[in-house]
Amino acid sequence: MLNQQNILIGMGGGIAAYKVCEVISSLFQQGVNVRVILTNTAQQFITPLTVSTLSRHQAYTDADFWQPIHSRPLHIELGEWANLFLIAPLTANTLGKLTSGLADNLLTNTVLASNCPILLAPAMNTDMWEQPTVQRNWQQLQEYSRYHTIGPGAGLLACDRVGSGRMAEPSEIITKLQSLLYTKGQQDFQGKRILISAGGTREYLDPVRFIGNPATGKMGLALAQASRDRGAVVTLIHGPIASELLPTPSNYRRIPVVSAGQMEKEMLTHFSEADIIIMSAAVADVKPAQYSQVKLPKNTLPKSLELESVSDIIAQLGKIKEPHQCLIGFAAQTGDIVTPAIDKLKRKQLDIIVANPVDQNNAGFGSDNNQAIFIHAKGQQKKIDSCSKLELAHQLLDFVAKIR
């Protein structure tokens, strides 16, 4: 999704600039052509030498901007070159300039000389971030379709304050950049309500033992991110997911659950308000027939475990689905993935099913990549070769948009 794309990065003056160095390095390693503009205040935190070393290209400063023109003006060339523009950290000063359309340095002149999507990643002290004037500027800038935002989050700041204003983490910024490059900033699911389930469920035998599966929730998180980046209002209902995988802050509603019963309750609660429902969670099929409130001693564990079925959530949803709703299921399979997927599609009255192999390298549970075959109830199929789960999520949304 990033290979050979042109990403221009504008760095403002703030301690969070050190995080942008990781973004630059990661983008270069993924095959991105990176160019960086540093404001004068940014150079108080990060040197042009550091940036040029990481990007393998000259870092641009205001000193370059005011040099005699040898060919075309620098801000024009950079603005036309970029497929995507990231401004991070976005300071209160630069935010105010962007809101007013001011252009008094290389960064702000290049913004006005470009037409590509711009991703803003603000970072500042909590009191600065919460100032009414800053919030007014922030809200006003988001009224323009070319501006996209990520963060800020909350946590321990460099000033030792705990609060909002913390710049998004590099991995989250890169994920957002990937989505914007895929969609070119278009929000074709604007106003759609998408309900997604993710991760595995746990069916406990006692307080410390459970029946589970290897699902990490990465596919569901990618679906939520892609949907939100395309303008949808997203509700994500998820089983236990490692905290480092969860976006902070998320720009969609997250509802954590543990068991299949809890997921069933939440899915049914929010089902009627959704236009598109994507059941990507790996829900347990069975649970222990008896639950012990206290930990069972090892020598008292049953030699054979009596099991009982749990409710089939997606089958229930298929029965109550309204004509305007699109219900999508996942079928994790080994061997022949198509035949059982089509059977599940029909039995559970789905509109689309995603058949994906879990016996292939770098696909399925726990992997960052996936591959699949999309199957529509009317027979259309689309094969997706191995790609990132975020790209697969976007391709599924493309399939939905084309079929519906």
Domains of the chain: 6-183 (3.40.50.1950), 193-403 (3.40.50.10300)
Measured CA to CA, the distance from residue 123 to residue 150 in angstroms comes to 10
Sign of the Cα pseudo-torsion (227, 246, 155, 40, in order): negative
- Find the catalytic residue in 21, 116, 159, 387: 159
159 is catalytic: yes
* pTM for the model: 0.89
pLDDT of residue 68: 78
pLDDT of residue 290: 93
Binding residues for CTP: 285, 295, 330, 344, 348
CB neighbour class for 222 (10 Å; exposed up to 12, middle 13-18, buried from 19): buried
Prior bond of 249 cis (ω within 30°): yes
Sign of the Cα pseudo-torsion (171, 172, 173, 175, in order): positive
Other beta carbons within 10 angstroms of residue 42's beta carbon come to: 26
Other beta carbons within 10 angstroms of residue 1's beta carbon come to: 18
List, for the chain, all residue ranges whose pLDDT scores fall below the cut of 70: 1, 70, 249
Measured CA to CA, the distance from residue 355 to residue 369 in angstroms comes to 14
pLDDT of residue 163: 87
Measured CA to CA, the distance from residue 180 to residue 157 in angstroms comes to 28
pLDDT of residue 70: 65
CA distances from 137 to 94, 312, 316 (A): 10, 48, 46
Measured CA to CA, the distance from residue 329 to residue 277 in angstroms comes to 8
Torsion angle of C-alpha atoms 384, 171, 121, 217, degrees rounded to 10:
60
| Residues in Cβ contact with 154 at an 8 Å cutoff, skipping those fewer than 6 apart | 162, 163, 164, 165, 166, 248, 249
Q: Token pair 């870092």 is at which residue?
A: 59
Binding residues: 285, 295, 330, 344, 348
Residue 59 · residue 51 · CB < 8 Å: yes
